[in-house]
Amino acid sequence: MSGKATKKKSTITQLADCGIAQLSPTALGLMADFFKVLSEVSRLQIVCSLKSGSKNVTEIIEVTGLGQANVSKHLKVLSQAGVVSRRQEGVSVYYQIANPFIFELCELVCDALSIQIELQNRQFEELGAIRQTR
């Protein structure tokens, strides 16, 4: 078997081993939509503000520095996606993280980005060293 054919077969094997590959296009669409919800800086700020516990809109505004209309809009999106839940206490509504796995997911992404940045820094250093030897 040629190197190209072996590489293609290896990639196909890797895809088959990936649990995501077993999902239907509809399920993959739901997953993509979930990640879209988290792809907004303001929503990530709101999620981070809720790590220490439930907060009402006023408290979220104080922590994030975002405007009231902006916070309310993003809380609605986060709530519809099941990232946050809400509970009424008298006249106040408090928001909390619906499933703490969201913080594990964020940590995984941060760790992966840190590794990627470290590798890029090493490559830049190597390029700088090559450039200095000229």
Q: Please name which of 76, 75, 51, 46 lies closest in space to residue 63, comparing C-alpha atoms.
A: 46
pLDDT attached to residue 79: 96
| pLDDT tens readout for residues 54-65 | 999 999 999 999
pLDDT in tens, 53-92: 999 999 999 999 999 999 999 999 999 999 999 999 999 9
Write the burial class of residue 35 (CB in 10 Å: 0-12 exposed, 13-18 middle, 19+ buried): exposed
Specify the pTM. 0.73
1.10.10.10, 3.40.50.1110, 3.40.50.300, 3.40.190.10: CATH of 38-98: 1.10.10.10
Is residue 124 a contact partner of residue 116, using CB atoms and an 8 Å limit?
no
